[in-house]
Amino acid sequence: MDYLFAIDNKIIIQRDEMAFIHSAGDAATSWNIPGQAGASSVFLLIDGAQYPGIWRILQYRFRRLPWVSLADADCASESGPVLLHATSDQTMTLAWFLEHTKGLHCLSWIESSLGLTAMRDHLRSLARITAEDGVSYDMRFYDTRILPAWYQMLDAHQEVHALGPINSWTYLDRDSLPCTLFGHSQAHAPAGQTLQLSATQERSLLEATLPDIVLEYLEQNGNADLAAMPPAQRYAFIADQVKKASSQYGIVSIQEIALFCSLALGIGCNFDKLLPVAQVLQKFTGAAARSAGGYAALQNA
């Protein structure tokens, strides 16, 4: 099961004023930004796992559109990310994909002077990361709920490396508003290198992914109380309960946190104050810090 990342939709990612939110009407034209001289191409990055129909679309509707898979040649699959080079009719192409991926979190678009092959190689190099303990992972930044967390996690040197040849990188947030990460507009991609995560970076990313991990777990297991809740309210509710379960009671298991959230959905957000429940929850208090296993914003390579 693919677990995904998201942050509270009230948060705007900022680093040295390089990220901002547009109005919704700017979505299909957001690469036409003053001060971004030298931009010559727009690339659409699509998560094939969320939008498996992309392969048939490329074969029939956009068969002349240049594209490549970001998956390595020896492990390419129809669930891998796809990079499209919108060389002409950029606004119309992007508008079509925005319309047909509505409600998903699979589409972002990049403005850069790189060619298709160079951009593919650069993004491939960013997708492979190594944790402090030496374990390698694939970073799913092509899911737009992971993208802002990945960006926020980067240190200054890593940010320059990652966004060096990129003019702008735009995605839709949880409210379907386009957000742009500004790069450095370098003419050439840096030499490929595997990004090294510190323990602090890894912990920050993994903690940020937990609400969506639990939310998707509950959705895929058909939680009726969650289904009855308006979609716009689900993430905030689950995020609050996840924080309470993990920080207040030290619950570490995904399944147990999901059970905690299920009880909150069925009984009420303060169900943990009921005496019988409070007595059971005491056994979790003071538990060890959450381990890194089981989070798939990072996937084992």
Q: Domains of the chain: which residue ranges?
A: 19-197, 201-298
- Looking at residue 275, what is its pLDDT? 78
For the cut 70, the answer to whether the pLDDT of residue 166 exceeds it is yes
- Minimal CA–CA distance to 178: which of 273, 278, 98, 271? 98
pLDDT of residue 21 exceeding 50, the answer is no
The answer to whether 61 and 68 are in contact (CB under 8 A) is no
Tokens 């850069």 found at? 112
Contact yes or no for 39/167 (Cβ under 8 A)? yes
Tell me how far apart the alpha carbons of residues 263 and 101 are, in angstroms, rounded to a whole number: 33
pLDDT at 29 exceeding the cut of 70? no
87 neighbors 66 (Cβ within 8 angstroms) = yes
pLDDT of residue 78: 65
Whether 185 contacts 36, CB under 8 Å: yes
Mean pLDDT of 241-254: 88
Cα angle value 47/51/52 (rounded, 5°): 105
- Mean pLDDT for the chain overall: 80
HSE, side-chain direction, 13 A CA sphere, residue 167 = 21
Helix-strand-coil split of the chain, %, nearest 5: 40, 15, 45
- Cα(93)–Cα(54) distance, integer angstroms: 13
3-state secondary structure of 172: strand
Q: What are residue 109's DSSP bridge partners?
A: 44, 170
CA distances from 200 to 141, 153, 288, 294 (A): 19, 9, 16, 17
73 or 78: which leads in pLDDT: 78
Give the gyration radius of the chain's Cα atoms.
20
Q: Which of 17-26, 65-74, 89-98, 265-274 has the highest mean pLDDT?
A: 265-274
pLDDT in tens, 62-77: 888 899 998 865 445 5
Contact 214, 238 (CB under 8 A): yes
Angle between the N-to-C axes of helices 254-267 and 199-220, in degrees from 0 to 180, rounded to the nearest 10: 50
Question: How does residue 90 score in pLDDT terms, banded at 50, 70 and 90?
Answer: confident
Distance CA 163, CA 156 (A): 11
